[in-house]
A = this chain, B = another copy of it.
Amino acid sequence: MSAFVRGVGTSHFGKQRDTPPTRLAAIAIREALEDAGITDPSRIEAAFVGTVFGAAGGGIRALHAGGITRVPTLTLESACASGTSAFAEAVHAVRSGRYEVVLCLGVEHMTSQFGGAIHPEQTDPEGRSGLALPALYAMTASRYLAEGAVTHEQLAQVSVKNHANALANPRAQYAGSHSIAEVLSSPMIADPLTLLQCCPISDGAAAAVIAAAPSEGGVEVMSVAEGTGRPWGNGSPHVWGFDLVAETARSAYEQAGLSAADVDVLEVHDAFTIGEIVTTEALGFASVGGGGELVERGVTAKGGAHVVNPSGGLLSRGHPLGATGLAQLAEIVWQLRGQAGDRQVPGATVGLVETMGGGASGVDGNACVVALLQGKGQR
């Protein structure tokens, strides 16, 4: 059976300390319902909520704020991929005939949890070694630099591209016409990753309505795959997370009968610049070590063959963990409907969403979700 994204919605993204997560969720839910043409929230049969740091019951409260009550509700935690995981489960539930119309919600209020960056978990071996997430990504960047697989300038180019894309995204937290030199000379966070190469802390929510029946301009979910990584020290020749993304993507492409060549537009997990580069490789848009050249040649920029993070990505939007995956989904849906305004990728027909969570917890990537979506085409 098929599943369709009938409507999407998001809050603004940014540091919104005084706006409670319930309010952010209500904004996203209302927009998604409206977008789906649903005036009676009781048409929603079940809800799938992605959130990481919220209090127990926070998902339920967030749904109630959006008028969704008394439906079976799953609250899922898959680290940074929690929102995409909620989407994946919603798709499976609709495809299996369990429900006709469901809501996915991703919400996170980071500023009420963290003064600055996410602090490492003391229960993680990585956390106890001080390997917070910027440090883990920095290790990958250092290796790529040492092996000549990427240059500092190519890393910076990801930031330049994504912040420029965000100039056309009024919901992004940051945007700007940065030069490579500016990116490289911004404050060092975890060598070699500078401030402008790291996604900011953000508060926000995003929602989507998934339905079994197609609709006018509806976007079809061609496939959605989920995976978790192997334990550390698994002998892979690749940097951490690569195998997880590559294997999850392989499954998503296979299920959809599509390949990277078919994908017009992607939203991927650029929590750090090196993340986008490695991810484009793992997704098959470049060979291993070829992701830096890919961004340098403009293949992933507006006007390129495979536009990556037209929204500005996590680098611009920020990373409200549970909301991130559904914010990525919303952008791809807008793109495939030709509704992305000045961010529009002309003629976008096939889109991809990828989110990768973790890299701590003793595992080479806690969770990855890759989804392929298809619109009616505006060619």
Contact = CB atoms under 8 A, between A and B. Distances in A.
A367 B58 CA distance: 12
A70 B362 contact: no
A330 interface: no
Contact of A231 (B64, B229, B362): B64
A227 B61 contact: no
How many A residues are at the interface, by size bracket?
35 or more
Given A76-B74, A78-B75, A228-B72, A121 B361 contact: no
Contacts of A123: 20, 55, 58, 61
Interface stretch (A2-10, A29-37, A91-99, A173-181): A91-99
A138 interface: no
A362 B52 contact: no
Given A76-B76, A362-B61, A121 B55 contact: yes
A363 B60 CA distance: 8
A93 B92 CA distance: 8
Nearest to A96: B96
Identical chains in the assembly: 2
Contacts of A69: 228, 230-231, 363
A72 B363 contact: no
Contacts of A60: 228, 358, 361-363, 366-367
A53 interface: yes
A363 B57 CA distance: 9
A182 interface: no
A358 B20 CA distance: 21
A56 B61 contact: no
Nearest to A78: B75
A79 B56 contact: yes
Contacts of A98: 92, 96
Contacts of A61: 123-124, 361-363
Interface in A314-372: 358, 360-363, 366-367
A98 to B, nearest CB: 6
A89 interface: yes
Contacts of A55: 121, 123-124
A48 to B, nearest CB: 10
A75 B89 CA distance: 12
Nearest to A123: B55
A358 B360 CA distance: 30
A248 to B, nearest CB: 9
Contacts of A56: 52-53, 77, 79, 121, 358, 361, 366
A59 interface: yes
B229 A70 contact: yes
A367 B228 CA distance: 27
A363 B85 contact: no
Nearest to A126: B57
A362 B123 CA distance: 32
12 contacts: A52-B56, A56-B77, A57-B361, A58-B361, A60-B366, A61-B362, A64-B231, A64-B362, A69-B230, A69-B231, A70-B228, A74-B85
Q: Which 3 A-B pairs have the closest CB atoms?
A: A57-B361, A96-B96, A72-B226
Interface of A: 20, 52-53, 55-61, 64, 69-79, 85, 89, 92-93, 95-98, 121, 123-124, 226-231, 358, 360-363, 366-367
